[in-house]
Amino acid sequence: MFGFGRRINRNINFRRGQFVTVRSIEEILATLDSDGKFDGLPFMPEMTPLCGKTFRVHRRAEKTCVEGVGMRGMRDTVFLEGLRCDGSAHDGCQRGCLFFWKEVWLKPADLSRRDTAAPCSTVAPGCEPEPAQPRAAVLHLPTTKGDRFYCQSTELAAATTDFPSGKLRHYLRDLRIGELSMRRFGYFFWMAPANRLWRLFFGRYYHQITGEQKKTLSEELNLQPGELVEIKSRAEIEATLDARGRNRGLSFEPEMALHCGRRYRVAMPLRKIIVENSGKMVNLSNTVILDGLICRGICVQNCPRANYLYWREIWLRRV
């Protein structure tokens, strides 16, 4: 069904802000091995409706955080603006991960053509319907492996390489290729050594909040999309956390502390997600995603992955 990893020219290197077109499903399937991967990274069924459409490059994915592993390196991969997984082929997982796009799955956009944004699955000028064989192959893209789910997230550790942490040259490269502003570069320049010292003396990151609870409590607000909430103060949140900075197993991430006292709208309740390092689906309660709040990589070496931040309702109050 697949092309078993056919060799393709790698000399592409798309940049942030550049317009690209997702290749046809036939072209993409020809790059995949028998596990539906290219360079260890799966092409997922949720990505197929995007074939033939044109998007802007959001960030280069030359590095990424991997749950349970840390920062890892990657090559020839980008994120496209606003393209997140809806979990439709993975039992409704709500992680909402940005898709990783191998550059061989993309081509420079021809912006002179008015039909470049038309999806391959529709009959549009200059875009023919997909043949039956590629459509059938898409149905065979794996979504499970044994008793675990199989997606870009679960395979990320294997699809990435070692990445030396805290090296100035990586921030300088980010600055040179437009992945980092001068202001953010200055922030990382002093934050990296500050974090090392803070962890040495206090056992945690500079912004990280930890508590002293042996058993953490829950609060049910039954928050719904569109409701306005205020994130509680650092002291209030500290009272809900254990010594590892968690509430019922969910971490209050260091970057989340920067939003304490601010108000946001609820984007959606979070009910179930696939755990990255196990491939297991877990159910969540009294947890939401807030509109516009994503990880900006401030505390994780300018990581471009932009994962949603998960908020226990006990960390919030209705306004």
Question: Has residue 234 got a pLDDT over 90?
Answer: yes
pTM for the complete prediction?
0.86
Q: What is the 3-state secondary structure (H, E, C) of 34-65?
A: CCCEECCEECCHHHHHHCCCEEEEEEECCEEE
Please write the tens of the pLDDT for every residue from 263-306: 999 999 999 999 999 999 999 999 999 999 999 987 778 899 99
Which of 247 and 181 is assigned the larger pLDDT? 247
**Which residue would you say has higher pLDDT here, 131 or 99?**
99
Using alpha carbons only, give the angle 301, 16, 187 rounded to the nearest 5 degrees: 30
Choose between 136 and 274: higher pLDDT.
Answer: 274
The per-residue pLDDT for range 70-116, each reduced to its tens digit, is 899 999 999 999 999 999 999 999 999 999 999 999 999 988 765 44
Give the residue with greater pLDDT, 279 vs 188.
Answer: 279
pLDDT of the residue at 171: 82
Exposed, middle or buried by CB within 10 Å (0-12, 13-18, 19+), for 28? buried
- Which residue in 253, 312, 262, 305 sits closest to 288, CA to CA? 312
pLDDT value at 202 more than 80: no
Mean pLDDT, rounded, of the chain: 87
* pLDDT computed for residue 129 by the predictor: 40
Residue 45 has pLDDT above 90, yes or no: yes
Query: Average pLDDT for residues 198-226, to the nearest whole number?
Result: 87
DSSP helix/strand/coil, 106: strand
Judge whether residue 59 has pLDDT over 90. yes
Q: What are residue 236's phi and psi, to 5 degrees?
A: -65, -40
Topology (CATH level 3) of domain 207-318 = SH3 type barrels. (2.30.30)
Q: What is the mean pLDDT of residues 165-182?
A: 81
Residues facing 71 on adjacent strands: 65
Domain residue ranges in the chain: 19-162, 165-203, 207-318
